[in-house]
């Protein structure tokens, strides 16, 4: 476990990295270590864990809208009153695309908010050659088996501040200090040695994996670009090739395509759906038309280690055929 922690900190080029037993625990520990309390501005275009962890820690999520280009939290969509009441901002580097980190930092400073990035998709991502994990008071990673780098189950928190990191180290180990006295109210958030061993093995071929996935993604882009639109990537950031999201014209078209592909044995996943600002249990606070629209017509195409370029061509051609037929039928 310590070896993986050291090697990951080195690989990702960050100082204070703490391994934990999953990505949701990483969020929980970040909020606890930073003492997040009250209103939290977050994005509805994410996996449920981003929001449920905020609620689980008895905080209140308020949903900002997202950029229609990067799909990340648009801090300009939040009014000053909400910002003045907020204790923290929890944006997500969606599909690995970094948030507007400088704008968010400026707003957070002005309104005295903590910033915790959910970086579950952003393993090895950089902005101007700097790790995306270096932004915010904390950034969290998930190492679930479905993620780019994985330990089967696992996660990590990267802290900016050494003192907060030292506190978090105790929090994941029942709050016990070196005298084995519970100095804080802690939990069991440790990554197991078996999971860490899996991570050490996976780390040996992560570079080759990222490269392969980037090639597959480029091939998808090449074939599909006249038929659908994609997340727009800034020039100064790296794409780790973790996901292949595509936007269709509307939800009806999306559902048709997913159903036809499923019959052919190809699984395209609605990810993320639904927009979490529409979910009753999360309180439905915030007006998010862009997120609701994107969530209704986005899907992720197959992208995994064993997929080959020939598969990408097959899937793309099939997808194009389905869309052509569908659009031929529905337009007059």
Q: Which two tokens stand for residue 248?
A: 């269709």
Stretch that binds ligand PLP, among 19-27, 64-72, 187-195, 201-209 (CB under 6 A): 19-27
Q: Per rule CB under 6 A, is residue 294 in the interface with ligand PLP?
A: no
Stretch that binds ligand PLP, among 17-25, 81-89, 162-170, 239-247 (CB under 6 A): 17-25
Taking CB under 6 A as the criterion, the residue among 142, 151, 277, 296 binding ligand PLP is 142
Residue 296 near ligand PLP by CB under 6 A: no
Q: Which stretches of 222-276 are assigned E, i.e. beta strand?
A: 245-247
Told to check if 120 binds ligand PLP by CB under 6 A, we report yes
Both tokens of 23, joined, read 């990505």
Nearer to ligand PLP among residue 5 and residue 253 (C-beta):
5
The single residue among 17, 19, 22, 322 that binds ligand PLP, judged by CB under 6 A, is 22
One DSSP character per residue, 285-320 reads -S--HHHHHHHHSEEE----TT--HHHHHHHHHHHH
- Binding-site member from 111, 144, 169, 249 for ligand PLP (CB under 6 A): 144
C-alpha span between 108 and 88 (Å, rounded):
8
**Is residue 242 at the binding interface for ligand PLP, with CB under 6 A as the rule?**
no
Mask: binding to ligand PLP, 151-190, rule CB under 6 A, as x and -?
----x-----------------------------------
CB atoms within 10 A of CB 210: 19
Q: Is 42 in the site for ligand PLP (CB under 6 A)?
A: no
By the rule CB under 6 A, 43 interacts with ligand PLP: no
| Phi, psi angle pair for 323, to nearest 5° | -65, -45
CA geometry: angle 189, 194, 200, nearest 5 deg: 100
As given in the structure block, the two tokens for residue 293 are 């629209």
CB of 105 to ligand PLP, least distance (A): 20
Structure tokens at 43: 């994005």
Burial bucket for residue 145 (CB in 10 Å: 0-12, 13-18, 19+): exposed
Cα separation, 218 vs 206, whole angstroms = 18
Nearer to ligand PLP, 135 or 322 (CB): 135
Catalytic residue numbers read: 147
Binding of residue 71 to ligand PLP (CB under 6 A): no
Smallest separation, CB 72 to ligand PLP (Å): 11
Binding mask 44-63 for ligand PLP (x = CB under 6 A): --xx-xx-------------
With CB under 6 A as the contact rule, which of the stretches 4-12, 16-24, 202-210, 309-317 interacts with ligand PLP? 16-24
Cα distances from 261 to residues 105, 252, 266, 281, 299, in angstroms, run: 42, 14, 5, 32, 12
Contact 236, 261 (CB under 8 A): no
Structure token pair of residue 235: 């020039």
By beta carbon distance, the residue nearest ligand PLP is 23
Under DSSP, is residue 75 helix (H, G, I), strand (E, B) or coil?
helix
Contact residues for ligand PLP, defined by CB under 6 A: 22-24, 46-47, 49-50, 92, 118, 120-121, 142, 144, 155
């Amino acid at each position: 476990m310590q070896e993986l922690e050291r090697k990951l900190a080195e690989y990702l080029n960050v100082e204070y990295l703490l391994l934990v037993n999953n990505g949701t625990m990483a969020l929980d520990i970040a909020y606890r270590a930073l003492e997040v309390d009250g209103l939290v501005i977050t994005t509805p275009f994410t996996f449920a864990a981003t929001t449920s962890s905020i609620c689980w820690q008895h905080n209140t999520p308020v949903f900002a809208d997202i950029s229609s280009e990067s799909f990340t939290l648009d801090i300009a969509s939040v009014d000053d009153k909400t910002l003045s009441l907020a204790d923290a901002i929890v944006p997500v580097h969606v599909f690995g695309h970094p948030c507007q980190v400088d704008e968010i930092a400026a707003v957070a400073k002005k309104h005295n908010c903590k910033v915790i990035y959910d970086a579950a998709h952003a393993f090895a991502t950089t902005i101007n050659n700097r790790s995306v994990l270096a932004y915010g008071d904390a950034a969290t990673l998930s190492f679930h088996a479905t993620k780019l780098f994985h330990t089967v189950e696992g996660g990590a928190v990267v802290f900016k501040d050494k003192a907060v990191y030292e506190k978090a180290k105790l929090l994941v180990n029942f709050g016990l200090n070196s005298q084995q006295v519970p100095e804080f109210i802690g939990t069991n958030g440790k990554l197991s040695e078996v999971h860490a061993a899996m991570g050490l093995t996976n780390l040996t071929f992560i570079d080759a994996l990222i490269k392969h996935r980037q090639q597959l993604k480029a091939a998808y882009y090449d074939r599909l670009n006249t038929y659908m639109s994609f997340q727009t990537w800034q020039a100064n950031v790296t794409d780790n090739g973790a996901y292949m999201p595509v936007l269709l014209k509307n939800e009806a078209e999306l559902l048709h395509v997913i159903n036809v592909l499923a019959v052919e044995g190809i699984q395209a996943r609605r990810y993320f759906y639904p927009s979490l600002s529409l979910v009753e249990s999360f309180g439905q606070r915030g007006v998010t038309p862009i997120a609701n629209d994107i969530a209704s017509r986005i899907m992720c195409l197959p992208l995994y280690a064993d997929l080959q370029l020939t598969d990408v061509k097959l899937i793309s051609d099939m997808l194009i055929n389905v869309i052509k037929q569908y659009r031929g039928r529905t337009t007059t």
